[in-house]
Amino acid sequence: MKNVQLWLLHFVIFLWITKSVRSEPQTNLLNKGCSQYISTDVSAFSGNRNLTFNDLRRQLSNNVHFATAQQSGIYAMAQCRNYLPGVDCLACFDAAVSLTLNCSSDGGARVIFEGCFLRYEAHDFYGVATLPGNEGKCSTNRSTIEENLIDPAVESLLRDLEVATPKTHGLFAAATKQVFGAGAGAGTGSTIYAYAQCAQTVSQSVCRNCLSVAYGNIRSCPPRAGGSSVDAGCFLRYSDTSFFPSNVITDITAYVQGGSSSSKSTIIVCIVGALLLFLLVLALFLWYRLYRKKAERDDILGLTKLQGPMTYNYKDLKSATKNFNEEYKVGEGGFGEVYKGIIKNGDVVAVKKLAMTTSKAKADFETEIRLISNIHHRNIIRLLGCSGKGSELLLVFEYMANGSLDKFLYGEKRGTLSWKQRLDIIFGIAKGLAYLHDQFHKRVIHRDIKSSNILLDVDLQPKIADFGLARLIAGDQSHLSTRFAGTLGYIAPEYAFHGHLSEKVDTYSFGIVVLEIISGRRSANSNTDPVTGPLLEDAWKLYEDGMHSDLVDETINPNEFSMEHVAKII
């Protein structure tokens, strides 16, 4: 208690000394949280934590922007944005400290402001940059720069920072990009400002991966005026107004290009590049004329008018799947079967074979490909292209080496998922659904979220698949009455009984999938399932009786989780 009082007194004195100094510590809160770990000796833990705070503040007082400290099993880290003056860095740090004291568990906390970051834990987290819960926040204000100008400018600048920052000394970079056009200001144009930073305790590759995730979390922010993305060990921000002084701007050209070259070499490269570009354009023009004639002969529901997906040759896909050999079959989708295919360039793809016998089925198919071709998210399956011959139509997707989630929960791969992997899958599905419901330009409702429609890549990251039942809803509609579709065991009651379709239908199904992930059980009985009762009823009864542990899959190592955490997930 004495240490806490001493720290607060120190904090008050500091504020009194600096109150006359104009500062901008950028203490807009982006993220905060408390650890699930509970110390057995709260007094000792609090005292050691405050010693690490004192050590961090002493280091930051020496005009550095990154510091770590350890004390009796407590690991702490503080980081300010490198463009902040020393006094603002300390002010931001002190504000972060005051928020961490609100955590009652005394087991760890994190606070992330726009200007700084503070975290302490009862374990070593220094080498970790990306964790579940990473998120992006977009400004509520729309930029004055036109959408067709700010979108490519922000993407280009953030992508450059993603490549350059891990190569810089100190793992941070500030950069700008000029935007010219009718909506960017007359004559002089407007400027986009961006900043990227990683914890100095992570490697270059870890930093790069973290910034890649961070970019994915704010790529949909434009045409908003700004956006920030936070994670365990990196930070990414852009804005159409300046938030750092011009003297801290980093020249990232050499980092992005991988080095400099002489003027003569540059001229030669430009000439050769221009010649190759001309030949490429000519070849594309000739190919397009030939392809257009062929497309006029092979009418595939007007697919040549679609933007995004590639049109594959039907014979090539037939050959890639060995004439749709049963050995290459990997699953079944909403309208048909899915096969593994190896195309001519060696890439492995998933080919969804559809038999369209009615006009409605063809309309659903066209809706599906138009929809999926415009959806880009790391937790949603990516459509590569399409093809067709008569009533038989094909969709080509990225191939998921680990197949569907249900095989890992109660199929042949049961018992191979750790608790952390299950949490990552839960968070990944949630992010994909949040994108479909709130971040895509149309509100998309999947209508058939279930474990067999969640595919896992080589890293066991989840991707939502099978949009055969997807529907679009106008933004001002709360629900839509529609003909029933979906899978028993995952269906929301208001949809099953009344046909009311809203994003809550997916949310309900997602909850069922979460219970399956935790328990390793099917949502409903089947002839081959040894479960004696429906999962939802059992989960509810165990919840009411406070017996959460009985719901957890027996194949999970009990040392990997705490029951408090399990109860929160349930």
Q: Give the tens place of pLDDT for each residue, 458-513.
A: 889 999 987 655 554 444 444 444 445 667 788 888 877 777 778 888 999 999 99
Least confident of 81-95, 147-161, 175-189, 358-372: 358-372
**Rounded Cα distance, 384 and 379, in Å:** 15
Chain centroid to CA 464: how far?
13
pLDDT confidence of residue 368: 63
The stretches of 451-502 forming alpha helices (DSSP H) are 493-498
Main-chain phi, psi angles of 524, to 5 degrees: -145, 165
Residues paired with 462 in a beta bridge: 456
**Rounded Cα distance, 301 and 388, in Å:** 9
Question: Is the model's pLDDT at 446 over the cut of 80?
Answer: yes
Least confident of 183-187, 390-394, 455-459, 559-563: 183-187
pLDDT confidence of residue 311: 82
Find the mean pLDDT for residues 218-247: 94
Least confident of 238-242, 260-264, 389-393: 260-264
Matching residue, tokens 């221009």: 274
Residue 171's pLDDT band (boundaries 50, 70, 90)? very high
b/e for 507-519, b at 16 or more Cβ within 10 A? ebbbbbbbbbbbb
Question: Is the model's pLDDT at 525 over the cut of 80?
Answer: no
Residue 530's pLDDT band (boundaries 50, 70, 90)? very low
Q: Between 275 and 56, whose confidence is greater? A: 56
293 contact partners, CB below 8 Å, separation of at least 6: none
pLDDT confidence of residue 24: 81
Residues paired with 463 in a beta bridge: 455
Find the mean pLDDT for residues 64-80: 93
Question: Is the model's pLDDT at 96 over the cut of 80?
Answer: yes
Main-chain phi, psi angles of 175, to 5 degrees: -150, 160
**Rounded Cα distance, 569 and 133, in Å:** 13
Q: Between 333 and 203, whose confidence is greater? A: 203
The DSSP line for 417-433 is --HHHHHHHHHHHHHHH
Residue 22's pLDDT band (boundaries 50, 70, 90)? very low
Question: For residue 528, what are its two tokens?
Answer: 């081959």
212 contact partners, CB below 8 Å, separation of at least 6: 162
Would you state the torsion angle of the CA atoms of residues 405, 411, 417, 419, taken in this order, to the nearest 10 degrees? 80
At 3, is the secondary structure helix, strand, or coil? helix
pLDDT confidence of residue 528: 37
Would you state the torsion angle of the CA atoms of residues 41, 47, 52, 56, taken in this order, to the nearest 10 degrees? 150
Residue 17's pLDDT band (boundaries 50, 70, 90)? very low
Residue 105's pLDDT band (boundaries 50, 70, 90)? low
Find the mean pLDDT for residues 60-77: 92
**Rounded Cα distance, 551 and 147, in Å:** 49
Least confident of 106-115, 198-207, 255-264, 491-500: 255-264
Q: Which 8-state DSSP code applies to residue 523?
A: S
**Rounded Cα distance, 469 and 466, in Å:** 8
Residue 262's pLDDT band (boundaries 50, 70, 90)? very low
**Rounded Cα distance, 349 and 329, in Å:** 12
315 contact partners, CB below 8 Å, separation of at least 6: none
pLDDT confidence of residue 80: 97
pLDDT confidence of residue 14: 47
Q: Between 107 and 15, whose confidence is greater? A: 107
Residues paired with 138 in a beta bridge: 227
Highest mean pLDDT among 47-56, 300-309, 477-486, 487-496: 47-56
Helices and strands, number each (H, E), in the chain: 15, 22
Q: Between 370 and 276, whose confidence is greater? A: 276
Residue 209's pLDDT band (boundaries 50, 70, 90)? very high
Containing 77, the helix (H) or strand (E) segment is strand 74-80
Residue 182's pLDDT band (boundaries 50, 70, 90)? low
- Length of the chain (residues): 570
pLDDT confidence of residue 386: 85
Assess contact for 93 and 59: CB atoms under 8 A: no
pLDDT confidence of residue 330: 86
pLDDT confidence of residue 371: 67
The DSSP line for 281-329 is HHHHHHHHHHHHHHHHHS-STTGGG-SSPEEPPHHHHHHHTTTT-GGGE
441 contact partners, CB below 8 Å, separation of at least 6: none
Q: Between 97 and 368, whose confidence is greater? A: 97
pLDDT confidence of residue 443: 80
pLDDT confidence of residue 292: 57
Residues with catalytic function: 448
Kindly report, residue by residue over 379-420, the tens digit of the pLDDT.
998 888 888 777 778 888 889 989 999 999 988 999 999 999
pLDDT, averaged across the chain: 81
